[in-house]
Every structure is written in structure tokens, then in C-alpha cells.
Amino acid sequence: MTNPTRKPTRLKNHDYSAPGAYFITVCTHARRCILSDTAPSPVDSVGAGVLDGPRVVLSDIGRIVEETILSIDQQYPNISMDKYVIMPNHLHLLIQLHAPGSSGTPTPTNETIPALISTLKRLTNRKTGEKLWQRSYYDHVIRNETDYREIWQYIGANPARWAEDRFHPQA
């Protein structure tokens, strides 16, 4: 039996070290719901929404992931985390790359965004002592202000739409 061939998920001929905005989705290994839960309580929660709407309540692992996300600017000074949400089995990141950069590793991981995601996965795996993430991740190069605003709103509304989310275990 042969393994299936993975199709490339990166935008062909795009330099992932180029300044710009990127929307990233990273799923947990086997889509396990280990990062958070949705709840109406605002206690220990992240995410935007109406006051009585669902919010994300982080698990212990989710808090480790959040701490790692918030420390990214220390490791990558040319990157800012504009918005993020940690869902039960995936996370969404809206990242700004402000200046060209390189991770110093061999091609094709020489670009900043793949290096950043690799670092995020490696650090959180190490801190939790388990394999948290699927092998790959989804990325979208944001091309204009309208695209940026739509993604900003999508991330903010994600907890309220968890039951309909394509990553929901019952979807």
C-alpha cells in the first residue's frame, strides 16, 4: 500500500518572508479537542463576541499555547500577532510580517512564516510533553484591506459559530 501524495498547500512562487499579512490555521493532531471549550462564561476566556455569547475557555494546554503565541514577538521582532483565537481543536492566527526576514534554516523552510509555525509547534509540544499538532497547516496570504477585515471578523466570530465549524467533531 502506498502513502497518499500530499498536495502543496503554499501559494506557488510566494515569498513567505515578504512583508504582509497572513491568516494561518493549525489543527491539533487527530483533531483532538484539547485546547479549549466554548462556554457562555467570560471567566478565563479569550475571543470576541456579544457579552452573553459563547467564549473560548482555555484548557491547561490552551493556556500554554496562548503563552507561546504571546511570546512570538520576542523571538520574531519583525512579526506582530494582530488577532488569534484558540478553538477546541484548532487555532487561527492573523499575523503581520513587517520586514523581510529569514529563519536561517535550509530552503524551503527559510521563509519566516513556516519557521514561525514550526517554532510554535515545537515549543508547545516540548512544554506539554506531547504531540499536539497535525503535520501541516493552512495559510492564506492576505491580499487587500477587505480580505484582512473579513478574516479579522471571522476570527472574532469563530467561538459563536463553533457548533457549525467544519473542524467541530460532529461536523
Question: Structural domain boundaries of the chain?
Answer: 20-164
| Contact (CB, 8 A) for 94 and 84 | yes
Q: Report residue 68 as a C-alpha cell.
A: 507561546
The predicted-structure confidence for 20-45, as pLDDT tens digits, reads as follows 999 999 999 999 999 998 765 454 44
> 97: part of which helix (H) or strand (E)?
strand 90-97
Q: What's the distance, CA 108 to chain centroid?
A: 20
Domain 20-164 has CATH 3.30.565.10: no
pTM here? 0.80
User: Does residue 108 have a cis bond before it (omega within 30 degrees)?
Assistant: yes
Cα–Cα dist 135/113, whole Å: 15
Distance CA 143, CA 137 (A): 19
Residue 9 has pLDDT above 50, yes or no: yes
Q: Share the mean pLDDT of the chain.
A: 81
